[in-house]
Amino acid sequence: MNPVVAALRTAASPRIRLSDLATQSCPCCRRKATSVSRYPAFVSKFFSGLLLAHCDNCGTGWVPIPNLDLDTYYEKHYAKEVRKDRLFEGKFYGPDNPVWSKEKHAVRDRAKRHADILHRIAPNAQDVLDIGCGEGYLLHNINVPRKFALESDENVQGILQEEVGATMIGQLPEKPTFDVIVASHVVEHFTYDTVRDYMLGFIAALKPNGVVLIEVPPGAWQLEEFAAGNRPPNQRLEPHTLFFSSYAMNMMLLDSGFEIVQSIRCPWTKNHMNDFKIKKQVPENVYNDADYVFVGRKPAGQTVWPGLVRKLRALT
């Protein structure tokens, strides 16, 4: 039998208590979940059986299972389900790697765009961390004194250390350490119950005036297209566990204490511009639709951890 058909037919489907679902809040705007749908699975036996919760206020979608066991997914399913390009056996950044002669290469070309943005926004950066950086295209592209990588894939550790010159770290430090943190196509892999802690972790690990650069897919719009039956048949969305609008991502950055210095308007946000709070969320001049990225800056004068402020506000 076609393995995709088999996966879709036999996927386990964990039950979610209605009472739990009804009390779940949107990770971005904190409103109650407004609806559920099936997960837009592609080939994954793990994801085929899941649901998505949706927030109509900000467009966010999330897998509403508490403590979702993604470790098992990445260990037991990911390698089989996601066909990775075979790693080049020579020097990855050597001239013989065919990656460099390809006319287009999504990850390589994206890293170049991010390097250009960082050159413009953080020209004097000394300490740069790339989270989930894969082979380290971005770190290889930039000329800074100290490069750090948070990347668990065993296949790329040698490339990152020997060819890119990166220092490997196992987790985010809790004190200000970096001028730049990059999270490119990483945040959509977090879960609804961890994403806010990661955002607070980013700001805690940045030096004053440090910047975070985030890129995520236009998830809220992808889900709108999915709901309408317009999803492209070759579109793979798993293993994404969060789906953002640019409005929702801006909100989460602002709520974590960042000033937004660059943003975009995703198609979902453009479709909701008649809502005044969405139109006026951040000043017009921070929008740059040429780059599909969000850049937040940690204010220089920020001395109190924003999570503490948020908790105190919640108490009063």
Cα separation of 8 and 234, whole Å?
Answer: 16
Quick one: 43 or 242, whose CB is closer to Zn ion?
A: 242
Q: Under the criterion CB under 5 A, does residue 44 sit at the interface with Zn ion? A: no
Q: Which of 29, 82, 121, 261 binds Zn ion (CB under 5 A)?
A: 29
CA angle 177, 126, 91 (to 5 degrees): 105
Cβ–Cβ under 8 Å, residues 64 and 16: yes
β-sheet bridge partners, residue 181: 129, 212
Q: Which of 58, 63, 212, 252 binds Zn ion (CB under 5 A)?
A: 58
Q: What is the footprint of Zn ion within residues 127-156 (CB under 5 A)?
A: none
Q: Under the criterion CB under 5 A, does residue 33 sit at the interface with Zn ion? A: no
DSSP class of 10: H
Q: Under the criterion CB under 5 A, does residue 57 sit at the interface with Zn ion? A: yes
How many other β-carbons are positioned within 10 Å of the β-carbon of residue 246?
A: 28
Q: In whole angstroms, how close is the CB of 262 to Zn ion at the nearest point?
A: 22
Cβ–Cβ under 8 Å, residues 175 and 207: no
Q: Which stretch binds Zn ion (CB under 5 A): 59-67, 97-105, 159-167, 276-284?
A: 59-67
Binding footprint of Zn ion, residue count (CB under 5 A): 7
Q: Which of 7, 26, 129, 242 binds Zn ion (CB under 5 A)?
A: 26
Q: Under the criterion CB under 5 A, does residue 254 sit at the interface with Zn ion? A: no
Q: Under the criterion CB under 5 A, does residue 237 sit at the interface with Zn ion? A: no
Q: Which of 60, 241, 262, 269 binds Zn ion (CB under 5 A)?
A: 60
Q: In whole angstroms, how close is the CB of 53 to Zn ion at the nearest point?
A: 10
Specify the 3-state DSSP secondary structure of 221: helix
Closest listed residue to residue 59, CA positions, set 270, 254, 310, 285? 270
Distances (CA, A) of 303 to 74, 163, 204, 260, 284: 38, 37, 10, 18, 28
Q: Under the criterion CB under 5 A, does residue 164 sit at the interface with Zn ion? A: no
Quick one: 111 or 242, whose CB is closer to Zn ion?
A: 242
How many other β-carbons are positioned within 10 Å of the β-carbon of residue 300?
A: 11
Cβ–Cβ under 8 Å, residues 63 and 41: no
Q: Which of 7, 51, 55, 264 binds Zn ion (CB under 5 A)?
A: 55
Closest listed residue to residue 40, CA positions, set 221, 240, 268, 185? 240
Q: In whole angstroms, how close is the CB of 267 to Zn ion at the nearest point?
A: 17
Cβ–Cβ under 8 Å, residues 189 and 237: no
Q: In whole angstroms, how close is the CB of 58 to Zn ion at the nearest point?
A: 3
Quick one: 97 or 194, whose CB is closer to Zn ion?
A: 194
Under the rule (CB under 5 A), what is the footprint of Zn ion? 26, 28-29, 55, 57-58, 60
